[in-house]
Amino acid sequence: MKIKLLLATLGAILLSGCQSDDERPTLVVQRFFGECGAVYGKSIDVGKAETECGIVTTMLNRFAAENPDINVKVNIVAWPGYAQLSAQIAAGDPPDLVTMHQSVISDYQARSLLEPLDEMLADAGITTEMLTPAGQRGTIKDGRLYALPWDTIGRLWHINTALMAEAGLMRNGKPLLPRNPEELIDHARKFKAATGKPYLVQAQVAAPDYLVANLYTYLLAQNAVVFPDARHIRLNTPEARKIVGLYRTLNEEKLTTVAQDFPSATANFVNGGGGIFPTGTWMIGPYEEAARSGTSALKGYAVAPFPQLWGQSAAFVDGHGWVVPKDDRSSAERKAIVRFLSFLARYNSDWTRTGHLPAFNAVLSSSSFTQQPHRRDIATMAATGQQLPGFVQRQSAIQGLIGEELEAAVSGVKPIDRALADAERRVNELLSQI
Amino acid sequence: MMERRVSGMVFVLPFIGLYCFLLILPFVMGLWISFHRADLFGSRHWVGLDNYVRLFADPVFYQAMGTTFTLAVLIVPALTLITLLLALALNRASRSAAIFRGLFFSSSVLSVTIVTLIWRFVLTPDSGLIAKLLTAMGIEPLPFLSDPNLTVPALAITTIWWGLGLPMMLFLAGLQQIPQDMYEAASLDGANRWTTFFRITLPSLRRTTILVIMLQTAAQLQIFGQAQLLTQGGPSGSSRPIVLYIYEVAFGRWELGYAIAAAEVLLLLILALMLAQYWLSTRGEEVQR
Amino acid sequence: MTTAAHNNRLPLTALFGVLLGAAIMVAPLVWTLLLSLKSNSELMRDSSAAFSAPYTLENYRAILVGSDVPRWLLNSIIVSLGTTAAVLMLCSLAGYGFARLDFPFRRTLFVFVLLGLAIPEQAVILPRHQLFATLGWHNSYPGLILPGLAAPFGVFFMTQYFRAIPKDLDEAAMLDGASRLDVFWRILLPLTLPAQATLGVFTFLGSWNDYWWPLISATTSDKYTLTVGLAAAQMNYAQTSGLGFLMAQAVFASIPILIVYIIFQKQIVQAMAGAAVR
């Protein structure tokens, strides 16, 4: 009968799917940074790759090619992928190596879900002293290393200098940046009047992390204490209200793009849709390439750290790292991980082509890094960059909660003080449940 | 005799076993966990009804409930009406009617990820199809995926496009069951098109209509993929339905007990809906008799 | 599909409505197809480029060479077919048992199964995830298939169908000395084919479209189903190879099921109608 045949075929398929005749140790590498198999599908030429996605893809291809005795499986997750990682850990089947923001490490580390890496890193020939101070701060928890730091990332102002010149906002070939919130609004109005385009290109849709980074940056600049202790956040403050108020005004007066998510904002900026795109270090590479190519509508390009609007100059920075979730692993699998870690360290220099700051001192001082364009302009960020206190857990979830309330505040759906009060209440409730 | 009795058990046991293991056991486990402050990775603390108390004091939970109901209200009546009209129009033997039936059903075979992929680039204001059409007509594109007043309607439109097939088929089947002689009698009485429709067609579709409304409401109360993929519940949570809330609480905030408590409330809602359907359809039959 | 009284021509307004509806149904699909045939760099500048030549098959080539989409498609087929076959088997057996046989607690058990109709998937998915973790069943085909098998609706549906078959049939066969299993397998089961088709179509589509369970149960890319695999790509699309490639994935992933649908359209429509006639 048909059914019998169907069942037999199915059984065969199921069985063939279950058994693996692969004797090699398996290394499951899980990463974000996007999917670009169409361009970099089988390429192993790391030196030629561009963008985060291109470089990480070719690196993983290369590792698999250089280590035929390891069965490398790659999971590409949607940024930032922590819900999925949590599900995997809860399922008892976590990946072997995962990209993780340094700010998130303490969540997992405090719940004993990560493997301390001191030994494996030592086996891979990596010692703490080799890492940049920022990299160390981001990955050492309770005196142990919980990740291989991979970079330091910060937010920058990516500037379309051609449009800025049109608005009369260039001095001696450098963009004229505001020194206080009033001046920012002033510049923005002037820019809009001269070019007809918004001063800021902001990725505000489905990107709560962006608004939160602004808030953290300017709270740090005002020396505000965001987390007085591990169980509380302080958000409904005059300092925070000032910051959110500024972004509310920008939206209200349409001095910024309002309805763009990250992909559309990225494309919009490169198509000359606005003056300044505040986003991460990772866009330096692609935009530099676009401006140089001459075919793009981006005719002139510069970057600068966030301007100093209140108090001192400050930057909220974070970094990527590679962590190893706890799991039972054979010694062959541990050796595979060690080999991968040491491979990663060798390619940290290539990674800086994305625009991120390196995690290794040797790369930071190397000429291959400093001679890339714009790197000198952002070097201050390495010094002024601050992270949130390491005792704060659930930073990823907290960022989501605050971001949601900030979205409501800057779009005018909620009054600013109510949104901040709600954010404070929600975060405190989350922290009280840990 | 005894042998026969046991053999009967053998036929149902495979199902009963799996059913207990895959549905009843998790259900009971869930009830138990909902009385705990439980995290995703196994820690358990008995807290009694605390999760439920917190839930009913949680404005975000109410927001999610509100969004869920709004979605149901936007989707169910529109979907019911559209599919009823389509069924009436396409309930004929011609070849073109068959082609149209197939066309309107075709979107139902696509999976939610494909549907959202397609609709993201219909709706998105910078590169979407609607934006391109509006711009060509000189109209400013609408920010469907970011304006809090538009995201929920955008999800509703996507869902209606995706879900037309099944209710349309149910209505067609309902129309087929109406005895032909009723129409013949009506035309002998000289009834016009509208009288026939309101006196015969519509009353005969009563059971089908209740079925369609209930199935759709139950489905829309559990809407998840569209919201997670198209808007991620944003902006500021305005398009987050209850199931997405449950997902985020469980896997983003790791509060398993709290998430399951929210799921139990959803269960009660759906249960109430099923009872309403039962009551409506049985009451209807009494009235008709 | 005909009702004589209604077989007059469609009024003009209705015809217009149907055509408009059809256009709305088709437009997103055509748009998707056009986007998939364009080069990514051209679309990056302006997606209106989709309306004009040149078109290319480059994106489809890239799927076959450098992506996991074919693998995910295979996984979706395995999981959906596996679920459907197992559900049909389990529900037919149980439906026959409940409809025809006498055994202790038969009524109680049937009511017990019906109670399951009231439990939505969302109420049990989290504890089930924990349960499967304890047993180490995640990230496997059985782990993806099993949750679909607790289908009380299927049992209810098949029981009703078996009840509607006249009892004389199996009694006659029993008198001829056929065994219970023979009666079930050779006489009754073939009669339930329409019901099998209905239940099969529903189960297959339900499984094919399932998103939440594979999202949390499949932990490596080689076990993702289509729904999960394509989810990551679209939420990240700023960092993908581009719009054209993304849409080519959507088209590529839909084509098999659309072909199946077109081939079996008549049966599927009948099957759907069967569900209403109970």
How close A361 comes to chain B (CA, Å)? 34
Distance CA C44, CA A264 (A): 10
The per-residue pLDDT for B6 is: 73
Band of the pLDDT at C241, cuts 50, 70, 90?
low
The domain spans of chain A are 24-153+318-386, 155-316+394-432
% of chain C at pLDDT higher than 90: 48
- Inter-chain touch B251–A407, beta carbons under 8 Å: no
Q: Which residue ranges in chain B fall short of pLDDT 50?
A: 1-2, 289
**pLDDT of A163 strictly over 90:** yes
- Residue pair A379/A156 in contact by the 8 Å Cβ criterion: no
Residue range A243-268, pLDDT digits in tens: 999 999 999 999 999 888 888 888 88
**Percentage of chain C lying above the pLDDT 70 cut:** 92
pLDDT-derived band of residue C148, with 50, 70 and 90 as boundaries? very high
Q: Kind and range of the H or E element at B153?
A: helix B151-163
Q: What is the identity of the amino acid at C206?
A: G
Residues of chain B with Cβ-Cβ distance to C275 below 8 Å are 170, 173
CB contact under 8 A, C128 and B183: no
Give mean pLDDT, residues A303-309: 90
**Residues A90, A143: Cα–Cα separation, whole Å:** 26
Residue C35 has pLDDT above 60, yes or no: yes
Between B16, B243, B267, which is nearest C119 by CB? Answer: B267
Looking at residue A150, its pLDDT comes to 95
Q: Which of B147, B234, B254 sits opposite A86 (nearest CB)?
A: B254
Average pLDDT over residues C84-105: 93
Domain boundaries, chain C: 78-225
- Whole-number Å distance between alpha carbons of A319 and A223: 22
The pLDDT score that the predictor gives to residue C25 is 95
Residue C59 has pLDDT above 60, yes or no: yes
For residue B183, what pLDDT is reported?
A: 85
Give A106's contacts in chain B (Cβ within 8 Å). none
**Closest CA–CA distance from residue B109 to any residue of chain C (Å):** 7
Report yes or no: A160 and A272 within 8 Å, Cβ to Cβ: yes
CA distance, residue A109 to nearest chain B CA (Å)? 13
Of B5, B113, B166, the CB nearest to C272: B166
Of A338 and A40, the structure prediction assigns the larger pLDDT to A338
Task: Give the architecture-level CATH label for domain A24-153+318-386.
Answer: 3-Layer(aba) Sandwich (3.40)
Q: What are phi and psi of C106, to 5 degrees?
A: -60, -50
Residue C267's SS3 state is helix
Q: For residue C31, name the pLDDT band (cuts at 50, 70, 90).
A: very high
pLDDT band for position A235 (50/70/90)? very high
* Dihedral sign from CA coordinates of A32, A37, A39, A44: positive
Among A340-344, C206-210, C242-246, the minimum mean pLDDT is found in C242-246
CB contact under 8 A, A397 and B252: yes
Q: Tell me the torsion sign for CA atoms C75, C79, C85, C89.
A: positive
Contacts across the A-B interface (CB distance below 8 Å): 87
Contact between B30 and C124 using a beta-carbon 8 Å cutoff = yes
CATH topology of domain C78-225: MetI-like fold (1.10.3720)
Q: Which ipTM score applies to this complex?
A: 0.89
Q: Is residue B211 helix, strand or coil?
A: helix
- The rounded distance, in Å, linking the Cα atoms of A111 and A378 is 35
Q: Do residues A267 and A234 lie in contact, with contact meaning Cβ atoms separated by under 8 Å?
A: no
Task: Dump pLDDT digits (tens) for B58-104.
Answer: 999 999 999 999 999 999 999 999 999 999 999 888 888 888 998 99
Euclidean distance between CA atoms B122 and B134, whole angstroms: 12
Residue A28 has what DSSP assignment?
E
Pick the range with the lowest mean pLDDT from A295-299, B79-83, B108-112, C146-150. Answer: A295-299
How far apart CA A291 and CA A295 sit, in angstroms, is: 8
In DSSP terms, which residues pair with A144 in a beta bridge? A141
Task: Determine, for residues A206 and B234 on separate chains, whether the beta-carbon distance falls below 8 Å.
Answer: yes
Task: Please judge whether B146 and A84 are an interchain contact, meaning their C-beta atoms are less than 8 angstroms apart.
Answer: no
Give every CB contact of residue C74 below 8 A, 6+ residues apart in sequence: none
Does the domain at residues B52-288 carry the CATH identifier 3.40.50.300? no
Average pLDDT, chain A: 89
C-beta of residue B154 within 8 angstroms of C-beta of residue B142 = no
- In chain B, residues 143-182 whose CB comes closer than 8 Å to chain C: 161, 164-166, 169-170, 172-178, 180
Q: What is the Cα–Cα distance from C30 to C242, expressed in whole angstroms?
A: 18
Q: Which of C125, C128, C150 faces B19 most closely, judged by CB atoms?
A: C150
Q: Is A11 on the interface with C (CB under 8 A)?
A: no
What class does CATH assign to A155-316+394-432? alpha beta
Cβ of residue B145 closer than 8 Å to a chain A Cβ: yes
**Do C225 and C75 meet the contact criterion of CB atoms below 8 Å apart?**
yes
pLDDT of residue A303: 92
Q: Where are the domains of chain B?
A: 52-288
So what's the pLDDT on residue C274?
A: 64
Vertex A124, ends A123 and A125: CA angle to 5°? 90
> Which of C126, C129, C266 to mutate to test binding with chain B, by most B CBs within 10 Å of its CB?
C126
Contacts of A328 (CB under 8 A, 6+ apart): none
